[in-house]
Amino acid sequence: MTPVELSRTVLHAVRRAVDEGALSVTVPERVVVTPPGPGGCGDYATPIALQLAGAAGESPQRVAGILRTRLLDERRITDVVVTGPGFLNLSLRSDSAADLVAEVLRCGELYGHATHPRPSGALLRCPAEVRAVVVGDALARVLRSQGYAVRVECDGPVDPQWATVLGLDAHSATNAPSRVNSHRTASAAHPQPPTPLPAPTVTPLRPVPAPADPLPLGRDAARWALLYPAGHDRPRITREHLAQRESNPLFRVRYAHARTRALLRNAADLGFHPEPGPLDAPTTAAPLLTALRDHPRVLAATAAHRAPDRLARHLVAVADAVLPVLHSVLPLGEEKPSAAHRARLALAEAAGTVLAGGLSLLGIDAPEHL
């Protein structure tokens, strides 16, 4: 169960409580679910009871108890614990990991992307400065993934070398309106006519400028150097972004992706393939499952806050969570491939898929070999 699905489940519990007369409130349009904070437990938590309590004329604890009863009817939820002033902490069935992995593999690199266009567009305005232009380009990619029609405008001409070396999107470089991404990209041989940009929300982009020319780093390292720091932080344009060592976050992300692809090749040589299923080491896999479930929320937050650094940091978290899992994917010695190996391989493939999709949105390549 992904965070989006869990949010819908909690919303359905609210609607049931209202329909049954247990609560008298206006059903909200959406429910926020996040990993539990300090003092919480389980896989996810939501403050929905605190949000509804005032309108319902009940205490948050009372509202939480009403919703808890209905949430426990959902087969994929094993426990609901009320903590603090009324937070609902939700624990998911262990085989929900298989559902999550299957969902990631079904969607591929489009996992977390919106399936319908937004009613409003986005207009990004930036100075003709290399970091601002790259941030605008990356944000345009992320916003399109979330269903927005996007246009990027610069207050001056863009250096042609930036477009060539840094791989700027043609729409961003030419200030042309772009179409909303769907689950299929139009063939380059049969381009679609541009869609008019609906009621755009204008966002000025003014990150701290790059202190040096990033072009000598090449496309991938230069883009990472400009996108990984928060917009208010000064980026470091150094060759450390090219170093193939653990201290380099970009290397860790790309190395983790390449390892997952190598495991798929090695497993094929051994005659078995990924198959989502229950995981026999849930404790080891828990941080990775949390990071994968969180991916759609991170994409939405990256778009909402116009902050590509959120996505970059999330990819580092996914990479750091998958690496401890990878050593147990393949059979050892004379061991025969089992259902557990296939499930671990599917989890590794799902992580690699999220890493590749996230890097693509940042405009960075995800090589299969390092």
CA distances from 289 to 57, 79, 254, 285 (A): 37, 18, 19, 6
* pLDDT: which is higher, 311 or 193: 311
Q: Is 365 strand, coil or helix?
A: coil
Q: Which two tokens stand for residue 1?
A: 């169960």
Per-position DSSP letters for 163-207, written without gaps between them: HHHHT--HHHHHT---PPP-SSPPPTTSPPPPPPPPSPEEEE--P
CA gyration radius for the chain?
Answer: 22
Mean pLDDT of the region 111-135: 91
Q: Where does the chain have alpha helices with state H?
A: 3-19, 48-56, 60-71, 96-107, 130-145, 160-166, 170-174, 219-227, 249-270, 282-305, 308-326, 339-361
Q: Which two tokens stand for residue 43?
A: 């896989």
| pLDDT at 179 > cutoff 70 | no
| pLDDT at 280 > cutoff 90 | no
* pLDDT: which is higher, 169 or 252: 252
Contact 197, 123 (CB under 8 A): yes
Q: Which of 24, 6, 247, 228 lies closest to 134, judged by CA?
A: 228
N-terminal to C-terminal alpha carbon distance within the chain: 33
Q: Which of 319, 318, 323, 344 lies closest to 332, judged by CA?
A: 344
Contact 173, 163 (CB under 8 A): yes
Q: What is the pLDDT of residue 94?
A: 62
Mean pLDDT of the region 11-21: 93
Q: What is the pLDDT of residue 170?
A: 55
Pick from 160-169, 262-271, 296-305 the range whose average pLDDT is largest. Answer: 262-271
The C-alpha angle 149, 298, 236, rounded to 5 degrees, equals 95
* Rounded-to-integer distance, Cα 204 and Cα 200, Å: 12
Per-position DSSP letters for 8-43, written without gaps between them: HHHHHHHHHHHHTTS--SPPPS----BS--TT--SS
| pLDDT at 169 > cutoff 80 | no
| pLDDT at 273 > cutoff 50 | yes
* pLDDT: which is higher, 138 or 197: 138
Q: What is the pLDDT of residue 198?
A: 55
pLDDT above 70 covers what percent of the chain? 90
CA within 13 Å, CB half, 272: 20
Q: What is the mean pLDDT of the chain?
A: 88
Lowest mean pLDDT among 33-42, 128-137, 304-313: 33-42
Q: What is the pLDDT of residue 176?
A: 38
Could you tell me the pLDDT band of residue 3, with boundaries at 50, 70 and 90? confident
Contact 293, 100 (CB under 8 A): yes
Q: What is the pLDDT of residue 95?
A: 58
Pick from 38-52, 85-99, 159-173, 273-287 the range whose average pLDDT is largest. Answer: 38-52
Could you tell me the pLDDT band of residue 194, with boundaries at 50, 70 and 90? low
Q: What is the pLDDT of residue 146?
A: 92
Q: Which two tokens stand for residue 283?
A: 């404790």
Mean pLDDT of the region 169-176: 49
CA dihedral 243, 248, 254, 259 (to 10 degrees): 90
Tell me how far the alpha carbon of residue 238 is from its chain's centroid: 27
The position carrying tokens 């904070």 is: 37
> pLDDT (tens digit, 9 = 90+) per residue, 91-116?
887 657 888 999 999 999 999 998 88
Q: What is the pLDDT of residue 156?
A: 87
Q: Which two tokens stand for residue 148?
A: 């927005």
* Rounded-to-integer distance, Cα 94 and Cα 79, Å: 12
Count of CB atoms situated within 10 Å of the CB of 26: 10
Mean pLDDT of the region 274-279: 91
* pLDDT: which is higher, 196 or 225: 225
Could you tell me the pLDDT band of residue 2, with boundaries at 50, 70 and 90? confident
| pLDDT at 199 > cutoff 70 | no
Q: What is the pLDDT of residue 204?
A: 94
Q: Which two tokens stand for residue 207?
A: 């990150």
